Amino acid sequence: MGEPEDYWTEVRDRWSRVVSAVDNSGAGHPGGGRVSIAETTRRPTGDIIPVLVAGQRGVGKSALYQALLGDNGYIRRRDEDHVPHRLVLGAGRRQAHVTLVVSPGQTAGGDYSSGDVDKWDAMLKPPNHPTGVIYVAAAGYDEPWDPREVNVLEERRQRRQNELRRQVEARLWEQWQASLDGTPTEEERRDRAEQIAREVDEAIPSPSEQLWAQNRNVELEHFSRFCQNLLPCWVDNPAAKDLWLVLAVTKADLYWTDQLGQVEEYYLPGADGEPTSDFQRQLVTLIRAFGHRNRPRLAVLPVAGRRQDYRFIPGVGEKQAMFDDMKFAAVQRSLRTTVGEFCGLGS
């Protein structure tokens, strides 16, 4: 592994290559992928690479797993417990054998705030550590599982919106009062009240932006807890080697046209490795725990498990899927190529 600055430059370059591949899809790029991934019942001829897919509930872990297999149709329902999938990765004559486990979605708690932590213990306690981890993030486009969850999340969003409105309005009134030399007339108060109402409306993020931010906050809490479990498994375990982490920022078909830059700024640290968002800060903390040597290979990738419009409730969070067949194939090809490379099939 290179120097720290080279490390993060490589991570950023990989993201940029995916963006370029998607934006230039249809310009002679092949629709298939160089790396193939398929389930198998054959006995492996070499070492087996254990891989864990994790992420907050509702982010699309099942869809992403089937995208790895090139199966973008019906999303099969997973069993409640860890079920190992035996996979063979191929690139030309080279092969790698993988045992991949997709963490089940958590059973939701009464308030649907975070639910139970994923059942990670089976693979996050030495010596049963994963060599590779695919952590699935959703840029705020988590998919609620039932109407009750939608209602609870919307009530929480509205409470936070009302509190934010009260705070902004109080601050604007205080600023106006402090600027006065005397007692304002009733007409001046009415005029100022109308102006403050407009300024509050302008200052408050849209309901959709509030929802995405709320979901990202829950995701950050989940990722932080996952890192706390992963650190002793990787950093303090002498048997852990050839490690890699793919941060798969899914739902790219929803955020590509108008939010791609925001998503990049939230998840992807700069070339100097200095974090500028809370999620970046947690990711950088995880990587720096290894020091300058023996760092895991890292990729932060925009991906899409399947194309699907998003609608939280009417008028909140509504987005249409933007990818055509070739853009969809491009992000999935990049994901398979990266996983294959990290599993030893070359760059």
pTM: 0.88
CA 92 to chain centre: 31
23's CB contacts (< 8 A; 6+ apart) are none
Say how far apart CA 122 and CA 120 lie, in whole Å.
6
What pLDDT digit, counting tens, does each position of 12-48 carry?
A: 999 999 999 999 986 654 444 589 898 888 777 678 9
pLDDT in tens, 289-340: 998 778 999 999 999 998 889 999 998 999 999 999 999 999 999 999 999 9
Task: At 292, give phi and psi (nearest 5°).
Answer: -85, -15
Closest to 53 (Cα-Cα) out of 126, 130, 112, 113: 130
Taking the C-alpha atoms of 25, 141, 214 and 245 in order, what is their torsion angle to the nearest 10 degrees?
Answer: -60
User: Model confidence over 60-102: pLDDT tens digits?
Assistant: 898 899 888 876 544 445 444 456 788 999 998 889 999 888 8
Would you say 118 and 106 are in contact if contact means Cβ atoms under 8 Å apart? Answer: yes
